[in-house]
Amino acid sequence: MEQATIKQTIARVGECLEKGGYAKGSIRQFYYTTNQLLKFMNSEGIEAYTTDVGVAFLRKKHRFNVTALPNHSNAERLRYLRKLSEFQLHGAAVLKRSTGEYAIPSAFRTATDAFLTYRRFEGIVEKNMGTVSLYLERFFRYLESQSVIGVPQITGAHIHGFLRFITGFTSSSKDHMMRTVRQFLAFCFKNGYHSEDLTEFAPNVHYEKRSRLPSAYSREDVTKLLESVDRSNPVGKRDYAILLLIARLGLRSGDVVNLKFENIDWEGNRISLTQRKTGRPLTLPLLEDVGLAIIDYLKFGRPDCNCQNVFMKHRLPIHPCTASGMYTLVSNRLSRADLLKETGTKKRGPHALRHSLASRLLEENVPLPVISEILGHASTNTTAAYLSISVDKLRQCALEVR
């Protein structure tokens, strides 16, 4: 590929990001990264861009280590470079949206609206409808890049091509995307939107669902994390309360940022809310240390505003914390506590603290159904993924056969 062609590819991907609703800051970072890439290729005398060239660029310019988890900046650069490769191969790039607004192409909208109505009738949680829409949007954008302008034109070859298109995702994500595509194709055949049953072309992506052990921090690590927070300032008071809600009660990020005053029953010492992810109600005891931390933040740290959300950002303009910001908060606090250096490739986000709580409860011989209730899982099968870190303990939970 000639240098002019990679420049054109960069321009096309940039257009995709703009149409996809990416933030201006993200688009600026994309162009900054690709400009650095072009300078690297010129200095090395490289004319053709490949994934290997992108990795070499990151290694030389940004100390990228392929054997370790990338830091936030390199992970972002890697995503941008991967989009270049996707566009070279397929004429389209996978877009990851941070909002629930999905642009289904008009040629596929009628069938999609009918399919989503059917899925709602089946009882799918509304929160999960956004994920279904996201997967279908990716599928349709790929089809558009292959000049497919309607459901009747979809063929088995297009479905196999889409599977190659999403090859950069994890096996779990690919399996979920292909399942959504398979369900959509089955619906289209049964309801006359397509004359053939194409489900056989949308295979299951086989992978070992328990092959990756969840990250977990020890009791000592969690204690060290909490003790490292300086609570003499407003941000420290807020972060300490948030960390306690995740590490001691196992709340998800979305539920922490959506926590409102009305969810806290101070007299009854409990927190009651509707989970953002599952739509299921959840009631947890308001532990003394958690309650005191929240009170400390409300009295001496929280900005003065009329918002009903408990946790606020502390930079102008004042507005509620976001779920995406929780990852940065927890990761930064783990880093400040020097836990990331000690734990190697462990995950660094809020879910790692949920995993840690599940592990600790198991070690204390808390029954599996009770752990499921605490974590807000609809099924103990989901909780089992968290508990795979302690097989011996899981065996001990088995009931005696009589």
Tens of pLDDT, residue by residue over 301-334, are 999 999 999 999 998 889 999 988 899 999 999 9
Which of 31-40, 93-102, 188-197 comes out lowest in average pLDDT? 93-102
Q: How confident is the model at residue 273 (pLDDT cuts 50, 70, 90)?
A: very high
Which among 142, 217, 297, 386 is annotated as catalytic? Answer: 386
| Residue 126 pLDDT > 50 | yes
- Nearest to residue 284, comparing CAs of 379, 387, 373, 381? 373
| Residue 292 pLDDT > 60 | yes
Catalytic residue flag (residue 252): yes
More confident residue, 240 or 129: 240
Catalytic residue flag (residue 260): no
**Average pLDDT rounded to a whole number, residues 218-237:** 94
Catalytic residue flag (residue 160): no
Q: Which structure tokens are listed for 57?
A: 């660029």
Residues 6+ apart with CB under 8 A from 28: none
Which among 119, 231, 252, 346 is annotated as catalytic? Answer: 252
Which among 119, 354, 355, 360 is annotated as catalytic? Answer: 354
pLDDT value of residue 381: 59
Please check whether residue 151 is in contact with residue 194, taking contact to mean a CB–CB distance below 8 angstroms. Answer: yes
Q: What is the DSSP letter of 250?
A: -
The verdict on pTM exceeding 0.85 is: no
| Residue 242 pLDDT > 60 | yes
Helix/strand/coil (H/E/C) assignment for every residue in 90-154: HCCCCCCCCCCCCCCCHHHHHHHHHHHHHHHHHCCCHHHHHHHHHHHHHHHHHHHHCCCCCHHHC
Catalytic residue flag (residue 354): yes
pLDDT value of residue 241: 97
Q: Return mean pLDDT, the chain.
A: 83
**Average pLDDT rounded to a whole number, residues 7-32:** 87
Which residue type is seen at 351?
A: H
Tens digit of each residue's pLDDT (9 = 90 or more) over 131-157: 898 899 889 988 988 999 999 999 999
Please check whether residue 179 is in contact with residue 221, taking contact to mean a CB–CB distance below 8 angstroms. Answer: no
| Residue 394 pLDDT > 50 | no
Which among 277, 314, 336, 393 is annotated as catalytic? Answer: 277
The pairs formed by 316-325 with CB atoms below 8 angstroms and a separation of 24 or more are 320/257, 321/242, 321/256, 321/257, 322/257, 323/253, 323/254, 323/257, 324/98, 325/257
Q: How many CA atoms lie within 13 A of 267 on its CB side?
A: 1
pLDDT value of residue 402: 46
Catalytic residue flag (residue 351): yes
Q: Report CA-CA distances (Å) from 301 to 19, 56, 231, 305, 313.
A: 40, 46, 9, 12, 11
Rounded-to-integer distance, Cα 140 and Cα 108, Å:
7
Catalytic residue flag (residue 207): no
Rounded-to-integer distance, Cα 309 and Cα 295, Å:
14
Which residue type is seen at 356?
A: S
pLDDT value of residue 286: 93
**Average pLDDT rounded to a whole number, residues 57-86:** 82
Which among 141, 182, 238, 377 is annotated as catalytic? Answer: 377
Q: How many CA atoms lie within 13 A of 79 on its CB side?
A: 17
Which among 302, 351, 355, 360 is annotated as catalytic? Answer: 351
| Residue 345 pLDDT > 80 | no
CB count, 10 Å around CB of 208? 7
Q: Which structure tokens are listed for 333?
A: 């606090």
pLDDT value of residue 97: 55
More confident residue, 272 or 339: 272
**Average pLDDT rounded to a whole number, residues 59-72:** 79
